[in-house]
Amino acid sequence: MGLLNIIRRMALREKLPIREIARRTGMSRNTIKKYLNAGTIEPQFATPERQSKLDPFSEKLAGWLKTEAARSRKQRRTLKQMHADLVVLGFDGSYNRVAAFARDWRADRQREQQTTGRGTFVPLSFSPGEAFQFDWSEDFAVLGGERTKLQVAHIIRPSI
């Protein structure tokens, strides 16, 4: 976007010819003409949908990640071990592709847990004196020059 703004400033404010803009930016004159005539703010590049080498193994890897997430941290397999197991199954892609898949899978899982696990809450309302909330807390204070641990009981009457 910054380069497009620079091209427009050179053409519209500084009144530079397209050939000079092309020389300064290193872009072709046709590209500069296209950007100036298009009226768009940012160039849009079409990226073709490509099949990943990991696609045939994605369900297997997602299952492994789900299984490993349920295990304790010390018993989990590493992504390097999962990549090696995929290679044994015929995967010829890189470890980085497996790691990127795992990052995306974890982010999706975390987003799902944040939105679906909350449940529905009904606010409670009470008449005055009908109910109260009780809780304990601990804090420290200096009493008589000595640091003393205090245990405090909190009693709160909910608002109406």
- Map tokens 């899982």 to a residue: 109
pTM over 0.75: no
Alpha-carbon dihedral sign for residues 21, 23, 29, 31: negative
Looking at residues 148-156, what average pLDDT do you find? 87
**Percentage, residues of the chain above pLDDT 70:** 89
In degrees and rounded to multiples of 5, residue 85 shows phi and psi of: -65, -35
Can you give the residue ranges of every domain in the chain? 2-38, 55-116
Say if residues 124 and 84 touch (Cβ distance below 8 Å): no
Residues composing the chain: 160
Contact 133, 156 (CB under 8 A): yes
Q: What is the pLDDT of residues 71-83, one digit of tens each?
A: 998 999 999 999 9
